[in-house]
């Protein structure tokens, strides 16, 4: 048997886009186990770039049966300053220092067809797994994946890697979509088929409906039967990147979720919902080309339920438009406009964001996302006279490996 251990170098890879990216709700492990897991992954980062040992016995596997182990991650320290102004509110201010992301991941490849992936989030008090999946490549174009992972969903949500977010924060409508559907980290437990051909990527996800629904049935019946909580949800995603137009990406997503999970609850009652999204990108990742343009649109329709004597049918919708200019290979300026109608708000809110990024790694000819320092200013305008205006200034560093 040949064992190969390698360390991922450079910026985030395209294949990592579905392995992102946010904080979800899960039962915590003990602190000792958490820090042991982080220690194991951190130790792996100190391994030589390539270490190989050979077994010359007759039981050695033929070529193509090797096991490879790859480590990687992203670290994002952040400084933030928030001001709120309103006609009926006193001016409020807060200053924060923290870690936005501290992700460490491991990819174990078993030959050319089977791959295991696990990611730990260490940005909270204790580390916890946010991704754990197995993927089997049936053919060169077709694969099947199962576990807890980022599946078919809006492109602007967790399908955009944490290291490739434009303005240190995702579009507000993408954040609200996650919190009001599957959970803030955008993950779910499920099974996803993926078919890729000629610049086109198709995905079909069958899942439990949220990042908290880890349904484990057993013949002993210990888990019981909860019919309302285990209904199958389905989501589809399609994207096309034409070879004739480098940087262009157009895609859409559609889904139906009958799980009535806790994130959809109104007055304690969960709701079914339908979801639809679309995107058009010219330059998906920061620093990828001199001029970039990105548009995202997301809509969610919740089922109608009775609240007292009133029938309530809520909606979530929003549009995000971003433009970015790279005046030099190691720097980029960006601006974003959003119009969002949050669940229950009844009115549209406007969010404006502007800022710039500097990449020391790009200056040395390496990936733009490997080392990045971003300064961002955002303002969330109220949808009524009684709501405060929120101003946020963020300085965030980033190292991805």
Look-up of token digits 């220092």: 97
Q: What is the pLDDT of residue 140?
A: 94
Higher pLDDT, residue 18 or 356? 356
Q: What is the pLDDT of residue 220?
A: 76
Is 387 within a domain?
Answer: yes
Tell me what the mean pLDDT of segment 353-373 comes to.
Answer: 97
Is 220 within a domain?
Answer: no
For 44, other C-beta atoms within 10 Å of its C-beta total 16
> Six-digit token pair at 323?
């433009």
Tell me what the mean pLDDT of segment 38-66 comes to.
Answer: 46
pLDDT category of residue 345 using cuts at 50, 70 and 90 = low
Mean pLDDT of the chain: 85
DSSP 388: P
Is 184 within a domain?
Answer: yes
Q: What is the pLDDT of residue 383?
A: 74
Domain count for the chain, please give it: 1
Tell me what the mean pLDDT of segment 289-316 comes to.
Answer: 94
Is 219 within a domain?
Answer: no
> Six-digit token pair at 353?
């964001």
pLDDT category of residue 224 using cuts at 50, 70 and 90 = low
Q: What is the pLDDT of residue 74?
A: 97
**What is the span of the domain harbouring residue 362?**
2-213+226-400
Residue 32 has pLDDT above 70, yes or no: no
Q: What is the pLDDT of residue 57?
A: 38
Over residues 319-341, the pLDDT tens digits come to: 999 999 999 999 999 999 999 99
Over residues 230-249, the pLDDT tens digits come to: 679 999 999 999 999 999 99
Give CA–CA dist 247/133, Å, rounded: 29
> Six-digit token pair at 125?
């008090």
pLDDT category of residue 64 using cuts at 50, 70 and 90 = low
Give CA–CA dist 261/228, Å, rounded: 9
**Spatial CA neighbour of 273 closest among 299, 298, 305, 302:** 302
Tell me what the mean pLDDT of segment 200-206 comes to.
Answer: 98
Q: What is the pLDDT of residue 87?
A: 62
pLDDT category of residue 134 using cuts at 50, 70 and 90 = very high
Tell me what the mean pLDDT of segment 138-144 comes to.
Answer: 97
**Spatial CA neighbour of 330 closest among 355, 354, 361, 356:** 361
Q: What is the pLDDT of residue 270?
A: 93
Is 218 within a domain?
Answer: no
Tell me what the mean pLDDT of segment 166-191 comes to.
Answer: 96
Give the whole-number percent of the chain exceeding pLDDT 70.
80
pLDDT category of residue 225 using cuts at 50, 70 and 90 = low
Tell me what the mean pLDDT of segment 10-35 comes to.
Answer: 40
Tell me what the mean pLDDT of segment 278-290 comes to.
Answer: 97
Tell me what the mean pLDDT of segment 258-262 comes to.
Answer: 93
Tell me what the mean pLDDT of segment 390-398 comes to.
Answer: 97
Residue 315 has pLDDT above 70, yes or no: yes
Look up the CATH number of the domain holding residue 334.
Answer: 2.40.160.10
**Spatial CA neighbour of 108 closest among 135, 68, 49:** 68
Is 221 within a domain?
Answer: no
pLDDT category of residue 17 using cuts at 50, 70 and 90 = very low
Whether 236 and 204 have beta carbons less than 8 Å apart is answered as: yes
Give CA–CA dist 145/129, Å, rounded: 17
Tell me what the mean pLDDT of segment 279-307 comes to.
Answer: 96
Tell me what the mean pLDDT of segment 79-100 comes to.
Answer: 86
């Amino acid at each position: 048997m040949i064992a190969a251990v390698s360390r991922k170098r450079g910026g985030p890879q395209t294949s990592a886009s579905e392995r992102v990216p946010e904080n979800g709700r899960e039962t915590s492990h003990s602190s000792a186990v958490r820090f042991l897991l982080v220690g194991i992954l951190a130790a792996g980062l100190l391994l030589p770039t390539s270490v190989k040992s050979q077994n010359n016995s007759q039981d050695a596997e033929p070529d193509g049966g090797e096991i490879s182990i790859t480590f990687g991650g992203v670290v994002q320290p952040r400084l933030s300053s928030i001001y709120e102004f309103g006609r009926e509110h006193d001016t409020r201010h807060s200053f924060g220092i923290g870690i936005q992301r501290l992700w460490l991941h491991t990819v174990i490849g078993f030959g050319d067809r089977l791959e295991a992936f696990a990611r730990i989030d260490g940005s909270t008090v204790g580390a916890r797994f946010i991704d754990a999946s197995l993927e089997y490549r049936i053919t060169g174009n077709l694969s099947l994946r199962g576990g807890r992972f980022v599946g078919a969903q809006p492109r602007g949500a967790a399908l955009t890697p944490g290291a490739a977010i434009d303005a240190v924060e995702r579009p507000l409508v993408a954040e609200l979509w996650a919190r009001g559907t599957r959970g803030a980290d955008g993950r779910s437990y499920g099974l996803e088929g993926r078919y890729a051909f000629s610049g086109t990527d198709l995905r079909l996800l069958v899942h439990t409906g949220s990042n908290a629904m880890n349904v484990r049935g057993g013949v002993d019946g210990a888990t019981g039967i909860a019919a309302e909580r285990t209904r199958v949800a389905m989501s589809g995603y399609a994207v096309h990147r034409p070879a004739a137009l480098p940087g262009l990406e157009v895609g859409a997503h559609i889904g139906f979720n009958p799980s009535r999970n806790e994130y959809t609850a109104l007055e304690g009652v969960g709701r079914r919902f339908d979801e639809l999204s679309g995107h058009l990108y010219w330059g998906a990742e920061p620093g990828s080309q001199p001029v970039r343009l990105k548009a995202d649109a997301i809509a969610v329709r919740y089922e109608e339920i009775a609240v007292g004597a009133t029938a309530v049918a809520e909606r979530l919708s929003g549009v995000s438009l971003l433009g970015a200019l790279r005046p030099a290979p190691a720097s980029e300026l960006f601006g974003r406009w959003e119009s969002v109608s949050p669940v229950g708000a009844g009115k549209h809110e406007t969010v404006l964001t502007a800022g710039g990024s500097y990449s020391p790694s790009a200056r040395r000819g390496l990936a733009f996302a490997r080392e990045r320092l971003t300064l961002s200013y955002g303002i969330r305008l109220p949808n009524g006279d009684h709501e405060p205006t929120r101003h946020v200034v963020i300085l965030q560093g980033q190292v991805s490996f």
